[in-house]
Amino acid sequence: MRRYNQGDLCPHCGLIIMMPTDLSNQCLGCGKEINQHQESDEDE
């Protein structure tokens, strides 16, 4: 799966992700979580 970062478009609503995803994994436009399942995959 793709990891979304600040400046990318939200995969749910299409708005630009304003906050760094390591600080806030929630879209400010739609309120849905971004990169939900990525953290467990990266730690392995």
The beta strand positions in the chain, using DSSP E, are none
**Domain extents for the chain?**
1-34
Which pLDDT belongs to residue 37?
Answer: 66
Non-local CB neighbours of 42 within 8 Å, separated by 6+ positions: 3
Which pLDDT belongs to residue 44?
Answer: 46
Q: What tens digit of pLDDT does each residue of 1-44 get? A: 789 999 999 999 999 999 998 888 999 999 999 987 645 545 54
